[in-house]
Structure 1
Amino acid sequence: MEKPPTILMVVAVALTNGEGRFLLQRRPAGKQHGGLWEFPGGKVEPGETPRAALVREVNEELGIALDPGAIQPAAFADGAAATHEGGIVILFYSCRRWQGKPVATDGATIGWFAPGEAARLAMPPLDIELLAQLSGGGG
């Protein structure tokens, strides 16, 4: 019997400030999607819940602590993954409360963008889809 492909589960978040802007990070050159802007997040590790993965990844990437009670499901996107044969599913959340001030790590750049500003940035395809859903434009 043929083994079904494994899906890569990823989480991402729209950290939204009180001015209707959300945080995006620009991937460092030399990494997959280098130079493109994306929502913060990362892979769900074995035995980890999506919310726990999101709290961990955002802390690693931005040095902030998400308030688990403030993490709300927002959307999802799926598609082919360049480095994973079974495809990728991104569970997308929104969050308005956290502790600390976000800072870029690992050579990334961060910025706060209104939806219209973000739509003009170079982004990976699934982040474009998530942005459209976040902005109410569907996918």
Structure 2
Amino acid sequence: MTGLISVAGAAVVDSLENPSRLLIARRSAPPQFAGMWEFPGGKLEAGESFEDALHRELLEELGITVRLGAEVEADAEGGWPLNERAVMRVWFAELLQGEPLPLQDHDELRWVSLSDGDEALALPWIPADLPIVRSLLERVDSGVLSGKGLRG
């Protein structure tokens, strides 16, 4: 897994303790992903942890601060494969401050219900994010969202 680009993603929910909604973002670029939905986040900068990257990216992209919960763990070592060059790790995050706005890379934000996974699954997701959505819905059903030892 060395040499891969590391990406941090957030599954922003309305509550880590009792989540009912998920905040998702629609890409405005690049052309092959424009109009598709994804988890907000982005690439790690040199020397940056995944958690620090998430806090930075969510502030830059959406204008929000969050409290991190549990990681939505992937089956693959190192995270969720995005393509042959990049891997993403995703954490549940609860909105702490700010009104989410599509400030960078997105043209729309939407809260979708977690009580009925069909709403989220019916949307056109970036293909690499769809397995993460399925895993996330399973985690919400099992109630495993809060993390231990993560900074808010």
Q: Which of the five TM-score ranges fits, normalised by the shorter chain?
A: 0.7 to 0.9
Equivalent residues of 2:82, 2:128 under 8 A apart = no
CA contact (8 A) 2:7 2:44 kept: yes
Are the aligned partners of 2:65 and 2:95 in contact in 1 as well (CA < 8 Å)?
A: no
1:16-67 per-residue CA deviation (whole Å, 9 max, x = no partner) reads 1156110000011545511100011111111000000000000001001123
Could you say what secondary structure the match of 1:71 adopts?
Answer: strand
1:21–1:113 CA contact under 8 A, matched in 2 = yes
Which residue does the alignment assign to 2:126? 124
TM-score (norm 2): 0.74
Aligned in 2, Cα 1:46/1:63: closer, same or farther, shift over 3 Å?
A: same
Distance 1:97 1:73 in 2: 16
Deviation at 1:125, TM superposition (A): 1.7
Report the alpha carbon displacement of residue 78 of structure 1 after superposing the two structures with TM. Answer: 3.0
DSSP 3-state at the match of 2:88: strand
**2:144 counterpart residue number:** none
Please state how far the C-alpha of 1:73 moved relative to its aligned partner: 1.4
Contact 2:82 2:88 in 1 (8 A): no
Preserved contact between residue 7 and residue 87 of structure 2 (Cα < 8 Å)? yes
- Distance of 2:99 and 2:55 partners within structure 1: 15
**In the alignment, residue 102 of structure 2 is paired with which amino acid?**
A
Gaps of 5+ in 1: none
Equivalent residue pairs, number: 128
Write the letter of the residue equivalent to 2:101: V
Aligned partners of 1:95, 1:28: CA distance in 2, in Å? 23
Q: Residues 135 and 89 of structure 1: is their aligned pair in 2 closer, same or farther, counting only changes over 3 Å?
A: same
Q: Residue 8 in 1 paired to residue 5 in 2?
A: yes
SS in 1 for 2:100: coil
**CA distance in 1 between partners of 2:46 and 2:131 (Å):** 26
CA distance in 2 between partners of 1:9 and 1:32 (Å): 21
Partner SS state of residue 123, structure 1 = coil
Query: Which runs of 5 or more residues in structure 2 are unaligned?
Result: 140-152
Give every structure 1 segment of 4 or more consecutive aligned residues whose post-TM-superposition deviation is greater than 6 Å.
none
Cα distance in 2 for partners of 1:119, 1:78 equals 18
Change (3 A) 1:29 1:50: closer
CA contact (8 A) 1:75 1:134 kept: no
